[in-house]
Structure 1
């Protein structure tokens, strides 16, 4: 806590110094990322990542098309198909159709892209594993850059970019099963309840409870797809009963979770 003393009347105000929170790890924990090199893109729903530069020279920028339906980028040195479960991953869905990052603006991205190009252009043992790991770092750095730049309209990206609201979002992402209420989330964001509720709707485009329910259901679908049982999943993502979970699941996805169990 710090104390600020200003003016002739010596006004004293206490401010809490909130710890930094990680806005990306929950997405990398929840969704699997795979990358593969391929000829010019096709419309298969996977994201496309282009390494752009002059022939024989270093990479100059990275272009990411999160939804994959695109024509080849001019001057692409390498094209990779990236599957980060875009149909289910809300962060990928929140990105604009084309994200461009200058690699020289981010030293870590420049070095990682150089290593990615070296692996892509040589047939060495462990090449596939190396490409996946390096591509994961590249995508992480692109997402970090997108969050830093923010968004022009309401949505998840705008919420993660907000200096206070992102704390409430991260709290929900990291502990979806917790019985979060509006007061808890406002406290996480360092705001009054009324200010938090109004600002969250304006910036994210929905209410905190609606966002939390959506996040829980997205995680639940991932678990069910992997063979988990409905009752266990309902409990793991914070629903009071399997019946309540099933009704919410049907409202969001249009089918019943029992079909997947």
Structure 2
């Protein structure tokens, strides 16, 4: 399994809505659910998005920004004389930020400018997505949702290939050596991995591997292994897998009690509280 698919097989993005919004007033408010991820694409005009803590980004026509999780933002138009400022909003159910490791980002949002190489690689999909969403025809809703999902996966692929992200899982997957160890964890979470065996997967010495992994991923290899197992468990429980004895065995735990303790410590709630 390739490095991105090793994550997407467990946390698959699903487009829940694709809409366009027009802004006409100088200052407006945009509220996006924290339970969803978003891709915002400037169709026309220019604006500035300002979130809590004064994090802000300016978007011009053809620019886009990926939000790992939604938030409340103020929208300011760049020019009072603008007659039309519109933005395409793609909303995704991509698992919560607490569960999906792909959403562990150093930044709350990632901007892709129009002239960026990533934007050029996505141009064909952007054109199709805009055409279907702005001029609805028979079956457009289904087509638009699938196009939005393909767009997100392509964008994540570009983030990895261009090493755009510097910290977290996407950064780790961008390093071909670390990626081998990370994919091994993803594909065989039940394995009794140790730092030495993961370093061997990466083709690195134990000390160099440990240092690079922590610097890139923001945590030690064994901490990531535990985090992946528990997030995977939470995702499976959320999807209806309630047999904890079998689940704990599948994730490398010799006792259900040890699994329960680790789950509560990592996720913050007992397994039974997931999905309620």
TM-score range, shorter chain: 0.7 to 0.9
Q: Deviations over 1:38-61 (max 9, x none)?
A: 465423212232222437xxx723
Task: Name the structure with the higher strand share.
Answer: 2
SS of residue paired to 1:78: strand
Name 1:101's counterpart in structure 2: 112
Displacement after TM superposition at 1:27 (Å): 2.4
Please say if residues 103 and 110 of structure 1, whose CA atoms lie closer than 8 Å, have aligned partners that are also in contact. Answer: no
Pair 1:191 & 2:204 matched: yes
Quick one: which of 132, 143, 147 aligns to 2:145? 132
Please say if residues 37 and 91 of structure 2, whose CA atoms lie closer than 8 Å, have aligned partners that are also in contact. Answer: yes
Displacement after TM superposition at 1:259 (Å): 4.5
**Cα distance in 1 for residues equivalent to 2:74 and 2:7:** 27
Please say if residues 201 and 208 of structure 1, whose CA atoms lie closer than 8 Å, have aligned partners that are also in contact. Answer: yes
Displacement after TM superposition at 1:167 (Å): 1.7
**Cα distance in 1 for residues equivalent to 2:151 and 2:178:** 26
**Residue pairs, 1:152-171, within 5 angstroms:** 152=166, 154-171=167-184
Change (3 A) 1:259 1:67: closer
SS of residue paired to 1:149: coil
Pair 1:30 & 2:10 matched: yes
Displacement after TM superposition at 1:73 (Å): 8.1
Pair 1:42 & 2:31 matched: yes
SS of residue paired to 2:31: coil
Pair 1:256 & 2:237 matched: no
Name 2:25's counterpart in structure 1: none
Please say if residues 66 and 86 of structure 1, whose CA atoms lie closer than 8 Å, have aligned partners that are also in contact. Answer: no
TM-score, normalised via structure 1 length: 0.80
Structure 1 unmatched runs, 5+: 1-20
Q: Deviations over 1:175-201 (max 9, x none)?
A: 212222222211111101222122222
Displacement after TM superposition at 1:72 (Å): 4.8
Pair 1:217 & 2:206 matched: no
**Cα distance in 1 for residues equivalent to 2:143 and 2:106:** 26
Please say if residues 41 and 65 of structure 2, whose CA atoms lie closer than 8 Å, have aligned partners that are also in contact. Answer: yes
Please say if residues 43 and 88 of structure 2, whose CA atoms lie closer than 8 Å, have aligned partners that are also in contact. Answer: no
Pair 1:51 & 2:41 matched: yes
Q: Which has the higher contact order (CA 8 A, sep 6+)?
A: 2
TM-score, normalised via structure 2 length: 0.76
Quick one: which of 250, 253, 263 aligns to 1:239? 253
Q: Deviations over 1:61-80 (max 9, x none)?
A: 33212221134586444222
Name 1:67's counterpart in structure 2: 69
Structure number with bigger Rg: 1
Change (3 A) 1:39 1:113: closer
Please say if residues 66 and 95 of structure 1, whose CA atoms lie closer than 8 Å, have aligned partners that are also in contact. Answer: no
Please say if residues 68 and 105 of structure 2, whose CA atoms lie closer than 8 Å, have aligned partners that are also in contact. Answer: no
**Cα distance in 1 for residues equivalent to 2:86 and 2:194:** 48
- Any runs of at least 4 consecutive aligned residues in structure 1 with deviations exceeding 3 A, and if so which? 38-41, 70-77, 258-261
Displacement after TM superposition at 1:163 (Å): 3.6
Name 2:94's counterpart in structure 1: 84
Structure 2 unmatched runs, 5+: 22-29, 46-60, 78-84
